[in-house]
């Protein structure tokens, strides 16, 4: 049994763990059980996480020992946990293979944005995709293709700097140019992320505005029905109200009252506005005062709807 255990390849998972029953712990446990272990145990790996170490001693030293000596490390960058990044830096310094993963809804931090990371979703399809990608990267690693890390690239540049041959100078210049290009890409990615966030905020504002206008129009309709019960004196001299409907969503409708045009705010229900203005005029208001009162009423209701 011990011999079989000794022959097993090892994978250590560095990830946010959180306290018992926390959302972080539940997510971390699901990722460990249904993705990391499910992907690597069939390939002969023994997969462990820090809280699964049962040997007595210093936890910090035991974790660092695992980080340095494991055949493979999976770094879950979700939540941008400081301990994870510290342990990841130690692993990068060892120049041993790492598979980076992060929650699909989160962004990779700026300094390591150019590293390949598996996007992790913990539904059935997302977990299956992540397992497949982890197994594919593990296969590449086992064939000697561990990929580059910032520490490894810095080591290569340092070695080339110590050599004065013309070929090494050219290679160093190429690598430095690639590093600068990656930095430009990271900056561009950060700018694009800001644009995406602004578009999302504009969309959310549009949805909120549409909802408020819908609530306002329903309220106006309800008030129109309530006004049917008002005790008013009918008058044969009430002006004639004609609705002039706008053909554009950027221009409000208009009310023509005895030949005089009154523009309504965009989105205001013209039928409800005409009926309410008519009732105001039956109470003795002038056409201009009646329309102004309808617009003020709409503004007050709009403020209430936004609250």
The two tokens of residue 304 are 């209430």
**Does residue 143 lie within any of the structural domains?**
yes
Number of domains in the chain: 2
Q: What pLDDT score does 157 carry?
A: 47
Residue 130 lies in domain: 2-147
Per-residue pLDDT at 118 exceeds 80: yes
Distances (CA, A) of 177 to 44, 113, 156, 174, 189: 40, 17, 14, 5, 18
- Domain end residue (candidates: 127, 147, 167): 147
- Distance linking the first and last C-alpha atoms of the chain: 67
Higher pLDDT, residue 261 or 56 = 261
- Report pTM: 0.51
Mean pLDDT, residues 104-117: 78
Q: Grade residue 66 by pLDDT with cuts at 50, 70 and 90.
A: very high
Q: Grade residue 186 by pLDDT with cuts at 50, 70 and 90.
A: low
- Domain end residue (candidates: 100, 118, 147): 147
Considering the domain architecture, whether residues 175 and 287 belong to the same structural domain is answered as yes
Per-residue pLDDT at 9 exceeds 60: yes
Q: What pLDDT score does 10 carry?
A: 96
Q: What pLDDT score does 99 carry?
A: 95
For residue 119, the SS3 value is strand
Per-residue pLDDT at 163 exceeds 90: no
Mean pLDDT, residues 174-186: 56
- Domain end residue (candidates: 108, 124, 147): 147
Mean pLDDT, residues 64-92: 92
Considering the domain architecture, whether residues 89 and 116 belong to the same structural domain is answered as yes
**Does residue 152 lie within any of the structural domains?**
no
Whether 301 and 273 have beta carbons less than 8 Å apart is answered as no
Considering the domain architecture, whether residues 113 and 197 belong to the same structural domain is answered as no
Considering the domain architecture, whether residues 187 and 50 belong to the same structural domain is answered as no
For residue 248, the SS3 value is coil
Return the percentage of the chain with pLDDT > 90, whole number.
31
Q: Which helix (H) or strand (E) element contains residue 288?
A: helix 287-306
The two tokens of residue 265 are 């705010």
Mean pLDDT, residues 267-290: 86
């Amino acid at each position: 049994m011990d011999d079989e255990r000794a022959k097993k390849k090892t994978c250590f998972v560095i990830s946010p763990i959180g306290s018992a029953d926390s959302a972080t712990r539940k997510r971390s446990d699901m990722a460990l059980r249904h993705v990391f272990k499910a992907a690597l145990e069939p390939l002969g790996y023994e997969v462990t996480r820090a809280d699964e170490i049962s040997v007595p001693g210093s936890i910090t030293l035991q974790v660092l020992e695992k980080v340095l000596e494991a055949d493979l490390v999976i770094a879950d960058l979700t939540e941008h946990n400081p301990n994870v990044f510290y342990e990841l830096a130690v692993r990068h310094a060892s120049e041993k293979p790492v598979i980076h993963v992060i929650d699909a809804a989160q962004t990779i931090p700026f300094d390591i944005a150019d590293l390949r990371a598996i996007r992790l979703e913990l539904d059935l399809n997302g977990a299956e995709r992540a397992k497949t990608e982890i197994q594919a990267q593990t296969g590449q690693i086992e064939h000697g293709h561990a990929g580059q890390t910032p520490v490894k690239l810095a080591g290569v540049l340092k070695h080339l700097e110590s050599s004065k041959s013309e070929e090494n100078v050219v290679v160093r210049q190429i690598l430095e140019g690639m590093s600068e290009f990656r930095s430009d890409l990271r900056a561009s990615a950060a700018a694009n992320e800001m644009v995406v966030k602004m578009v999302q905020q504009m969309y959310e504002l549009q949805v909120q505005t549409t909802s408020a206008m819908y609530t306002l129009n329903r309220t106006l309709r309800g008030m129109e029905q309530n006004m049917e019960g008002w005790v008013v004196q009918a008058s044969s001299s009430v002006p004639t109200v004609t609705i002039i409907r706008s053909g554009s969503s950027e221009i409000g409708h208009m009310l023509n009252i005895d030949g005089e045009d009154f523009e309504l705010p965009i989105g205001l229900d013209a039928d409800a506005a005409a009926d309410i203005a008519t009732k105001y005029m039956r109470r003795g208001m002038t056409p201009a005062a009646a329309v102004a009162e309808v617009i003020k009423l709409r503004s007050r209701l709009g403020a209430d709807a936004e609250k």
